[in-house]
């Protein structure tokens, strides 16, 4: 599973900000900055920059204990990877958008940038922990440390980050890590060739994949919406960016799955 914790990968990396949400140290940024549309995930429309109607004066959610029951499923699967408290407490020095309205627009603009940086950090930390080899591990560590520095950068620098370029650079390293790890796993065990349809970007919406041996399959970016994966074996399968909304993972063996994140699991049935 993706390295979404806050360890230091054995001391090989620069200390990073916390990569798990701490809502008590955030100004409810995800409840204000981000837009959403009325759908199966939300019961109403909300434009970006407008506080959610459920946000309380102390930045807590007034219906946190019944979000799904009241139709706010989208909130239950969202994960800022700790970007909320980083932006609130570090970038903006602990001064909220309510206390300093002039900073509100910039704070809302920083949140999605910071969230991507934190998600990238989580994936890089997992990749380093997989010990893909000295040269690749060093390259991963260098990018990780560059991103750590960005998370502490001033607002103006954060808003100029080329996220597409960064994602591309990181994606290449993660792909090379995945190929190395999957080859290593296949060499150490007798694993059948994954089914032909199990490929990057595959359209497997609603597919019946029950009990299949998908170990070491490359499912990066695959559409697995509402797929039936009960009892499937997904060890060392690359799930980077796979869409697992409403996928049935009950009884699936996810031990050792690569780049599987908390939001992906939260969106699935487990």
Sketch the domain layout of the chain as residue ranges: 9-184, 194-270
Give 153 or 131, the one with higher predicted confidence. 153
The answer to whether the CB of 194 falls within 8 A of the CB of 217 is yes
CA–chain centroid gap for 208, Å, is 26
What digits encode the pLDDT tens for the residues 199-248? 999 999 999 999 999 999 999 999 999 999 999 999 999 999 999 999 99
Predicted local confidence at residue 12, as pLDDT = 77
Q: Provide the pLDDT confidence category of residue 11 given band limits of 50, 70 and 90.
A: low
Distance in angstroms (rounded) separating the CA atoms of residues 207 and 109:
38
What's the mean pLDDT in 184-190?
92
42 burial (CB, 10 Å; 0-12 / 13-18 / 19+) is middle
The C-alpha angle with vertex 234 and arms to 134 and 216, in degrees rounded to 5, equals 45
Distance in angstroms (rounded) separating the CA atoms of residues 152 and 91:
7
Q: Is the pLDDT of residue 4 over 50?
A: no
Mean pLDDT of all residues belonging to the chain: 94
What digits encode the pLDDT tens for the residues 128-146? 999 888 999 999 999 999 9
3-state secondary structure of 227: coil
12 burial (CB, 10 Å; 0-12 / 13-18 / 19+) is middle
What percent of the chain stands above pLDDT 70?
A: 96
What's the mean pLDDT in 170-198?
94
111 burial (CB, 10 Å; 0-12 / 13-18 / 19+) is buried
């Amino acid at each position: 599973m993706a390295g979404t914790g806050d360890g230091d990968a054995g001391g090989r990396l620069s200390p990073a900000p916390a990569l798990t949400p701490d809502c008590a140290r955030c100004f409810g940024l995800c409840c204000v900055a981000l837009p959403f549309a009325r759908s199966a995930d939300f019961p109403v429309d909300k434009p970006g920059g407008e506080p959610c109607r459920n946000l309380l004066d102390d930045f807590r959610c007034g219906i946190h204990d019944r979000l799904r029951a009241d139709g706010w499923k989208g909130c239950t699967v969202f994960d800022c990877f700790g970007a909320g408290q980083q932006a609130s407490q570090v970038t903006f020095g602990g001064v909220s958008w309510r206390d300093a309205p002039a900073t509100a627009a910039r704070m809302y603009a920083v949140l999605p940038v910071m969230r991507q940086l934190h998600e990238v950090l989580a994936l890089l930390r997992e990749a380093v922990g997989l010990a893909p080899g000295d040269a690749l591990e060093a390259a991963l560590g260098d990018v990780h440390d560059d991103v750590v520095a960005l998370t502490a950068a001033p607002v103006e620098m954060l808003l100029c980050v080329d996220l597409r370029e960064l994602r591309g650079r990181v994606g290449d390293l993660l792909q090379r890590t995945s190929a190395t790890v999957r080859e290593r796993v296949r060499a150490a065990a007798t694993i059948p060739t994954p089914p032909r349809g199990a490929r990057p970007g595959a359209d497997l919406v609603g597919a019946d994949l029950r009990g299949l041996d998908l170990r070491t399959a490359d499912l990066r970016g695959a559409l697995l919406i509402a797929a039936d994966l009960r009892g499937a074996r997904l060890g060392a399968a690359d799930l980077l960016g796979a869409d697992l909304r409403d996928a049935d993972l009950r009884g699936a063996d996810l031990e050792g799955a690569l780049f599987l994140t908390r939001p992906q699991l939260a969106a699935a049935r487990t």
